[in-house]
Amino acid sequence: MNRPFDYGDKVLVLDNKQRRYLITLAEGAEFHTHAGLFPHADVVGKPEGVTMKSTRGASYILMRPTLEDFVLEMPRGAQVIYPKDLAPICMLADIGPGVRVLESGVGSGALSMTMLRYGADIIGYEIRDDFLNRARANVKSFLGEGVLDRYNLHLRDCYEGIDERDLDRVVLDLPEPWQVVPHAMEALRPGGILVAYTPSITQAAQTRDAMANRAWSGTRTLEVLHRGWHIEGQAVRPDHRMVAHTGFLTVGRFLG
């Protein structure tokens, strides 16, 4: 997308300390911080990467937000799955164009929009109406209204069963995913994949127990650690802080 900024566009604003602000350009609106302001109208027509000056002389770089940027800065109700886990989930679940996914526990929509970006068709189960509406709004806000044709949300409890059949994938972000395993065995096609994201290892262990039968193959549990590096001239070392544990990923393939 190589075009000038226009009203309705989302813009990531970076100050000189790399603090991040996500805005949507609107007529008559202004971007405000303690270091002054600039009107949104001054951004319209400018190219990505432009530097804007506030009324107090502060400089800001303007970029289009990536999916990672949006997930970290978007409005949320539920806790989101972070980017370090989103990409591995999509790889473990082999998400791609046309893949039919049952996602339960859609939360604020971070995983939904990632799988939709990969081309999946999603049936989403969510028990809270406010989370369901937030997820739909976030998905529409970042990916556009057209993607909603592939995003069908239902206010219902996955613990009580799955209506769909011949699903390619079941992806869960729930407190008790082991309760869904028997339902997934009825809903998945042979060769389908289940992935469950759980914060604690005891949750992962109970999920593995539910999958400990001949219907499942290649079951495994892993976690993803994210460590950045400080590189400044000859000073090269791991960052003092790292994003270590967020959750465990449990995956298995259904044999039928």
Q: Is 15 among the domain residues?
A: yes
Average pLDDT over residues 168-182: 98
Digit-coded pLDDT (tens) for 23-64: 999 999 999 998 999 999 999 999 999 999 999 999 999 999
Cα–Cα nearest to 256, from 228, 215, 196: 215
Confidence at 147, pLDDT banded by 50, 70, 90: very high
Show the CA angle centred on residue 152, arms to residues 160 and 90, nearest 5°.
85
Domain check: are 118 and 223 in the same one?
yes
pLDDT at 79 over 80: no
Pairing type for strands 151-155 and 121-126 reads: parallel
Q: What are phi and psi of 50, to 5 degrees?
A: -70, 150
Domain check: are 111 and 200 in the same one?
yes
Domain check: are 53 and 75 in the same one?
no
Domain check: are 30 and 142 in the same one?
no
Domain check: are 127 and 25 in the same one?
no
Q: Residue 37's domain spans which residues?
A: 10-65
- Residue 249 has a CB neighbour count (10 Å cut-off) of 22
* C-beta of residue 74 within 8 angstroms of C-beta of residue 138: yes
Q: Is 4 among the domain residues?
A: no
Confidence at 114, pLDDT banded by 50, 70, 90: very high
CATH label of the domain that carries residue 122: 3.40.50.150
pLDDT at 74 over 90: no
Give the separation between CA 128 and CA 201, rounded to whole angstroms: 25
Cα–Cα nearest to 17, from 34, 40, 42: 34
Place of tokens 């790889």: 91
* Residue where a domain terminates, one of 37, 65, 93: 65
Domain check: are 122 and 141 in the same one?
yes
Answering whether pTM is above 0.75, one says yes
Give the separation between CA 119 and CA 116, rounded to whole angstroms: 5
* Residue where a domain terminates, one of 43, 65, 87: 65
pLDDT at 94 over 70: yes
CA distances from 213 to 182, 210, 238, 252 (A): 11, 8, 42, 11
CA distances from 11 to 42, 48, 115, 162, 225 (A): 13, 9, 22, 39, 29
| Three-class SS state of 242 | coil
Digit-coded pLDDT (tens) for 240-250: 888 788 999 99
pLDDT at 212: 97
pLDDT at 241: 86
pLDDT at 78 over 80: no
Domain check: are 109 and 219 in the same one?
yes
Digit-coded pLDDT (tens) for 206-230: 999 999 999 999 999 999 999 999 9
Domain check: are 41 and 123 in the same one?
no
Q: Is 5 among the domain residues?
A: no
* C-beta of residue 95 within 8 angstroms of C-beta of residue 68: no
Residues above pLDDT 90, as percent of the chain: 90
Give the separation between CA 134 and CA 77, rounded to whole angstroms: 7
* Residue where a domain terminates, one of 46, 65, 84: 65
Average pLDDT, the chain: 95
Number of folded domains in the chain? 2
Percent helix / strand / coil, the chain, rounded to 5: 30, 30, 40
Domain check: are 32 and 120 in the same one?
no
Domain check: are 28 and 134 in the same one?
no
Give the separation between CA 216 and CA 43, rounded to whole angstroms: 54
Digit-coded pLDDT (tens) for 4-15: 999 999 999 999
Average pLDDT over residues 145-158: 97
Give the separation between CA 130 and CA 16, rounded to whole angstroms: 36
Domain check: are 30 and 137 in the same one?
no
Domain check: are 249 and 140 in the same one?
yes
Residue 236 exposure: Cα atoms within 13 Å on the Cβ side = 2
pLDDT at 104 over 70: yes
Give the separation between CA 71 and CA 87, rounded to whole angstroms: 12
Q: Is 101 among the domain residues?
A: yes
pLDDT at 1: 63
Q: Is 3 among the domain residues?
A: no
CA distances from 115 to 89, 112, 199 (A): 9, 5, 20
Q: What is the DSSP letter of 82?
A: P
pLDDT at 162: 98
CATH label of the domain that carries residue 15: 3.10.330.20
- Residue 144 has a CB neighbour count (10 Å cut-off) of 9
